[in-house]
Structure 1
Amino acid sequence: MIFLRYEGFRSYLKLYPITVAILAINIALFVYDFWLGGDHYFIRNGVLLVDPYTDYFSFDEPWRYVTSIFLHGGFDHLLFNCFAILVFAPPLERILGKFNYAFFYLFAGIMGNACTALLETDTISSLGASGAIYGVYGIYLYLALFKKAMDEGSRRTVYTILIFGIIASLLSPNTNVWAHLGGAIAGFGFGFLYDKVLNTRK
């Protein structure tokens, strides 16, 4: 089972620096905005603002495509996403390498936001790491379907997480389904590209 972690705290910090950095940024921005008198500064200036009537692709402030990936609207939102990153990101960081993984995480999050800007028909604000996290799930889905090296326990875990994730996305209010979909598609496509093109060059 690739998702079980046996490392100690120091080993985790050393082995998965990008995962640790992502978690630290998520937590630091949340703590500042909600607990240290930040008055939601980063949320006000960093969430993705989608308005299909006046700014179809949300290009007026393009940095929000990136900053919104690291912002969360409440403690439960932060806790759930950080737990998913803590558990599911480390194996992928080891597989891709830290630089490829850092690029991929941002890529998946941006693609989730792009999908939101393209397909959302209402005026909304969007934030959270779930687009990038579903990108991680998307790569694992590719590995589960096409790479025999993944053990059966990990494969079943991927299928279970995706099934429950889809159900929760459809039933939970205020969930950005488009970000989940865009991130997952980006992850699956990146998995194919990495397997068929990038990985063969090593």
Structure 2
Amino acid sequence: MTSASVGFQCPDCVGAGAAQQRQPVTPVGAPIKEKPTVTYVLIAVNVAIFGLAWMSGLDEAIGNWGMWPAGIAQGEWWRLFTSAFLHGGFLHILFNMYILFIVGAPLERLMGHLRFGVLYVAAAFGGAVASYAFNPVNTLSVGASGAIFGLMGAFAVAGFKMRYDIKQILFLVGFNLVLGFVLAGTDWKAHVGGLITGVLVAAVFFYAPRNKRTVVQVLGVLVVLGILVGITMWRTSELLALPVY
């Protein structure tokens, strides 16, 4: 028996009562997790892939796995995902991983592991799709910047929803967007695509009604991904219609 303020209770009764208590969740309905495991894993994966690419030949790896519209149109669709895990040099990956850490870790604590992972992959895909859709056919682009911009956009959405001061994150987004516009060789289209995707996915997660939260979140993400797939199909048909193909 277990002592209680009104006498004694059987252990099974205590266990059943504890199980019925509502567990604390994040603002998007995920279980609270203190350790940003997905952020750490993403950083490790990006660094490991960069190391392998560097040892095997960075230019060759970028050519084989980077975002290249001509290759994607011919069926090399994996480039829309692999390009987000490649980087063009040490400064490129160092900057991206730093932003991933300072933005990703607190955002993952707000969203939970699963939703944060979905957000990252969706934003990476959105950045690659924008790059594919609006860049010249022979463009070659790599980097996690699309995903990073998606995280920053999502952080702004979260802050707005929770009534936090979001001036700093808005400045960070704006400053990096301007850099992308003025620095030669920067794929700003991927930045914008990732940012828009991140904002949309975060809005679905943070503004879903509580009584239908999971259903709305799943359907919302599927709608966003469906739009991205539609843009990809449109661009592919456009490229295949060119005389060069």
Same-fold call, TM > 0.5? yes
1:97 aligns to 2:112 (yes or no): yes
Structure-2 change in CA distance of 1:184 and 1:94 (3 Å): same
Distance 1:134 1:59 in 2: 28
TM-score, normalising length: structure 2: 0.68
Q: Name the structure, 1 or 2, with higher relative contact order (CA <8 Å, separation 6+).
A: 1
- Any unmatched runs of 5+ in structure 2? 1-33, 215-245
1:1-31 deviation line (CA, Å, top 9, x unaligned): xxxxxxxxxxxxx811111111111111111
Q: Specify the alignment match of 2:149 in structure 1.
A: 134
Q: Specify the alignment match of 1:120 in structure 2.
A: 135
Structure-2 change in CA distance of 1:158 and 1:112 (3 Å): same
Residue correspondences, number: 179
Distance 1:114 1:65 in 2: 7
Q: Specify the alignment match of 1:39 in structure 2.
A: 57
Q: Specify the alignment match of 2:81 in structure 1.
A: 66
Q: Secondary structure at the match of 2:93?
A: helix
1:180 aligns to 2:195 (yes or no): no
Higher gyration radius (CA): 2
Give the aligned residue type for 2:56: G
Distance 1:16 1:109 in 2: 19
Distance 1:144 1:163 in 2: 16
Q: Specify the alignment match of 1:84 in structure 2.
A: 99
RMSD (Å), alpha carbons: 1.9
Q: Contact between 2:154 and 2:201, CA under 8 Å: does it hold in 1?
A: yes
Structure-2 change in CA distance of 1:42 and 1:143 (3 Å): same
Q: What's the CA shift for 1:199? A: 5.6
1:66-123 deviation line (CA, Å, top 9, x unaligned): 1111110000101100100111101111111111111110110001111111111352
- Any unmatched runs of 5+ in structure 1? 1-13
1:26 aligns to 2:46 (yes or no): yes
Q: Secondary structure at the match of 2:77?
A: coil
TM-score, normalising length: structure 1: 0.81
Q: What's the CA shift for 1:195? A: 1.8
1:194 aligns to 2:205 (yes or no): yes
- Percent identity of the aligned residues? 27
